[in-house]
Amino acid sequence: MFMKGILLVNLGSPKSTAVPDVREYLDEFLMDEKVIDYRWFFRALLVQGIILNTRPAKSAEAYKTVWTDEGSPLIVITQKIQKKLQKLVDVPVEIGMRYAQPSIEAGIQKLVDQGVSEIVLFPLYPQYAMSTTETVIEKAEEVRKKKFPGIKINYIQPFYNREIYIDCLAESIREKLPENFDALQFSYHGVPERHIYKTDPTNTCNLNDCCSRENNPSHQFCYRHQCFDVTNSVIKKLGLPKEKVMVTFQSRLGKDKWMEPYTDETLETIGKKGVKNLAIVCPAFVSDCLETLEEISVEGKHQFEHGGGENFHYIPCLNDEDRWIDVVKILCEEKLNEFYLV
Ligand SMILES: C=CC1=C(C)c2cc3[nH]c(cc4nc(cc5[nH]c(cc1n2)c(C)c5CCC(=O)O)C(CCC(=O)O)=C4C)c(C)c3C=C
Ligand SMILES: [Fe+2]
Ligand SMILES: [Fe+2]
């Protein structure tokens, strides 16, 4: 009898806000070829020769503003999701981070120690991207082949278009929307435009209106399409007019061209265009983290107010809301059941 288990995988955070720990984390993260996709020599030159000289101190300051007594919000929230899910399913649930600790390897080891040999691995990203879903699967496969050749892993695919997820997200937003708002901004983590072309096996995405078209062959691998799709499905459920909604992309790094429009530039200018009361939500993240709690809730608010905006309302991620845990459970159970079919 093969025993089954679940591994929830998120991005990961530094082990503390000390600059050397942040440097170590950024080194592992940014030296990932799926994140900074230059050849090793040029990646090392950029990351270790330039970025790691200044960014760790700056990022450490930012982490300090969101860190809690229990640790990094991203990890603490992922642990809360794990605990709640564990109460609902009868197989072991562990967590693993793509970067830093607890690693994917440590998570698999914990499952194996409990007798598990068939794992459902859930990358906690609604949309597919080379720098998220793809690198998680690549890493897990590397670890499996090297350290755990006897186990099977079944991967949960991006769930951006699953109705249960959209219903959950729409309901969560509906509850948190303020009574009066001039616009609802959907701010997604950005990626360099090059990543979209690179991961399109159909060569049919030109980063133009094809991303919003129905049934373009590239959609399965187009992060931009998947962000638009979530937005459109949610606003349909909420009954919001398109004119009241904006999609922007945040957190860019370096000099490459990233997907536009940029969140920070938009926040700086919309106040003058008449958006005085803004609600903003970040559906690329299932759990709040540095990029939502600091970059949006604090920096973004300043940018909006600096540009003439008045009321800024950040809508938190799904985090450990019960309705979201129910969705996680359903998605995991679907994949657990596939093991019986093989
Ligand atoms: C939600 C999906 C994410 C995508 C896509 C993504 C792409 C991506 N990110 C960077 C660079 C950085 N991201 C950083 C933090 C960070 N990124 C995500 C998610 C995605 N990244 C999360 C959840 C977090 C927060 C982690 C936490 O501990 O809370 C950082 C570190 C912080 C900083 O210094 O700003 C960097 C750097 C690139 C280059 C990229 C795509 C190519
Ligand atoms: Fe596209
Ligand atoms: Fe990121």
Tens of pLDDT, residue by residue over 170-203, are 999 999 999 999 999 999 999 999 999 999 999 9
What share of the chain has pLDDT > 70, as a percent?
99
Alpha-carbon distance of 314 to 297, in angstroms, equals 6
Tens of pLDDT, residue by residue over 26-74, are 999 999 999 999 999 999 999 999 999 999 999 999 999 999 999 999 9
259 lines ligand 1 (CB under 6 A): no
Q: Which atom of ligand 1 is nearest to the CA of 37?
A: 42
pLDDT recorded at residue 188: 98
162 lines ligand 1 (CB under 6 A): no
Q: Which atom of ligand 1 is nearest to the CA of 287?
A: 23
pLDDT recorded at residue 295: 98
290 lines ligand 1 (CB under 6 A): yes
55 lines ligand 1 (CB under 6 A): yes
Q: Residue 75, Cβ neighbours under 10 Å: how many?
A: 24
Mean pLDDT of 146-169: 97
Give me the chain's average pLDDT, please.
96
pLDDT recorded at residue 2: 86
pLDDT recorded at residue 341: 66
- Chain Cα centroid distance, residue 180: 28
Q: To test the ligand 1 pocket, which listed residue (290, 295, 296, 319) has its Cβ within 8 A of the most ligand atoms?
A: 290
Nearest ligand to residue 224 Cα: 2
Q: pLDDT at residue 77 above 60?
A: yes
Cα-to-centroid distance, 341 and ligand 1 (Å): 36
Contacts of residue 237, defined as CB under 8 A and 6 or more positions apart, other chains included, come to 166, 167, 170
Cα-to-centroid distance, 251 and ligand 3 (Å): 7
Cα-to-centroid distance, 71 and ligand 3 (Å): 19
Q: pLDDT at residue 1 above 80?
A: no
Q: Which of 214, 221, 225 is nearest to 247 (CA)?
A: 225
Contacts of residue 183, defined as CB under 8 A and 6 or more positions apart, other chains included, come to 244, 245, 246, 270, 275, 277, 278, 279
User: Angle at Cα 221 formed by Cα 95 and Cα 206, nearest 5°?
Assistant: 145
Alpha-carbon distance of 286 to 20, in angstroms, equals 28
Mean pLDDT of 229-242: 97
191 lines ligand 1 (CB under 6 A): yes
Which position has the token pair 């969101």?
66
Helix orientation angle between 223-238 and 163-176, rounded to the nearest 10 degrees: 60
Tens of pLDDT, residue by residue over 83-112, are 999 999 999 999 999 999 999 999 999 999
Nearest ligand to residue 258 Cα: 1
pLDDT recorded at residue 342: 57
78 lines ligand 1 (CB under 6 A): no
Contact 304, 270 (CB under 8 A): yes
Q: To test the ligand 1 pocket, which listed residue (291, 293, 296, 298) has its Cβ within 8 A of the most ligand atoms?
A: 291
Cα-to-centroid distance, 113 and ligand 3 (Å): 32
Rg of the chain (C-alpha set): 20
Residue type, 243: E
185 lines ligand 1 (CB under 6 A): no
Tens of pLDDT, residue by residue over 211-235, are 998 888 899 999 999 999 999 999 9
Question: Binding-site residues for Fe(2+), please?
Answer: 189, 291
Q: Which residue's CA is minimally distant from atom 24 of ligand 1?
A: 291
- The stretches of the chain forming alpha helices (DSSP H) are 19-30, 40-46, 52-66, 73-88, 104-113, 135-147, 163-176, 193-198, 223-238, 263-270, 290-293, 301-306, 322-341
Tens of pLDDT, residue by residue over 270-295, are 999 999 999 999 999 999 999 999 99
Tokens of 242: 């398109």
